[in-house]
Structure 1
Amino acid sequence: CNIFPFTTPYLVAPFLETIMLDYSASTTINASPETIWQILTDAPHYTDWEPTVIRIEGTIAPGEKIKVFSKLSPDRAFPVTVSEFVPGQKMVWSSGMPLGLFKGVRTFTLTPQNGAVHVKIREVFSGILLPLIGRTIPDMTEPFQQFVQGLKQHAEAQEQQ
């Protein structure tokens, strides 16, 4: 029997919201949102421009489940669901454990800006198991920089063809 039935949500919930890892990178790309979107959703060709991806299995489309294989952890697949999909604007890949014990949310945003597009990738890991699981997550700072630079070079080259 819980003597203080109302203390748990008020004490634990705010604490859980502060347990997170947050990585991001952004760049401005001189290409159309359509060109960038086509590249971001073309799973078989990620290896043409994204240096940390070994392969992506599945179709990058609304509600689809895909598996990402990365050089950062080559022995395992990262299953994600395309949980949000607004063509030319925003895409979200989500993964995690039941009950929010651990969650990873990767967001891609495209914002038109003076004839170019500002692209941002952000991943937030959260959940009560993050202190344990977080030790196995590599620092994503450099890989995210490589991601946006590879995307920029590939999109701008395609735009000039």
Structure 2
Amino acid sequence: MRFATRVTIQAPAEAVWALLTDAAAYPAWNPTVASVEGTIGPGGKVTVRTAERPGQAFPVRVTAFEAPRRMVWTGGMPLGLFKGERTFTVTPEGNGVVFAMEEVYTGLMAPLITRSIPDLQPDFDRFGQALKAAAEQGA
């Protein structure tokens, strides 16, 4: 199972990156997020609560961090039984950037667990549009 979004943003990469790495500010610009706690940086541990399911915590670790271009959040079950990996990329293009976000689920339990995961594509698209609006407003 895979979800992805891509959007062109007329703002500097650093401005987009600043929004993506400010955990406390996520709810202010992103309607899909209730809270993000922790440190979004190399090796950081982050707990995400979605607006749709604020009572459910999604703990992830920042497993790749290449400011201001790429980061990866990884979460799941021990022993590789189930893994979700969300990759954020910010690629300079013209006077702005192309932002892309992709989440892929893998592991022995993935076929079973992904049956209970709702269609996240609308949330991914809203995430991209909200990031675009926030970054362009601040640019």
Pairwise TM-score range, normalised by the shorter structure: over 0.9
Partner of 1:149: 129
Deviations 1:115-142 (A, max 9, x none): 2100000000111111221122121110
Query: Does residue 52 in structure 1 map to residue 47 in structure 2?
Result: no
TM-score by length of 1: 0.84
Structure 2 distance, partners of 1:67, 1:115, is: 33
Which 4+ stretches in 1 moved above 6 angstroms? none
Aligned-pair Cα RMSD in Å: 0.9
Q: Tell me, what secondary structure is at the counterpart of 2:126?
A: helix
- Select 1:61's aligned residue among 25, 36, 41: 41
SS across alignment from 2:11 = coil
Structure 1 segments unaligned to the other structure (5+ residues): 1-20
Residue 60 of structure 1: SS of its match in structure 2?
coil
- Structure with higher Rg: it is 1
Alignment of 1:19-38 (within 5 A): 21-38=1-18
Partner of 2:73: 93
Kindly state the Cα deviation for residue 152 of structure 1 after the two structures are TM-superposed. Answer: 0.2
Q: How many residues align?
A: 139
Q: Equivalents in 2 of 1:75, 1:137: separation in Å?
A: 16
Alignment match of 2:99 (pick from 98, 103, 119): 119
CA deviation profile, 1:94-151 (whole Å, cap 9, x unmatched): 0111221100000000111112100000000111111221122121110000000000
With normalisation by structure 2, the TM-score equals: 0.96
- Secondary structure at the counterpart of residue 91 of structure 2: strand
- 2:43 aligned counterpart, secondary structure: coil
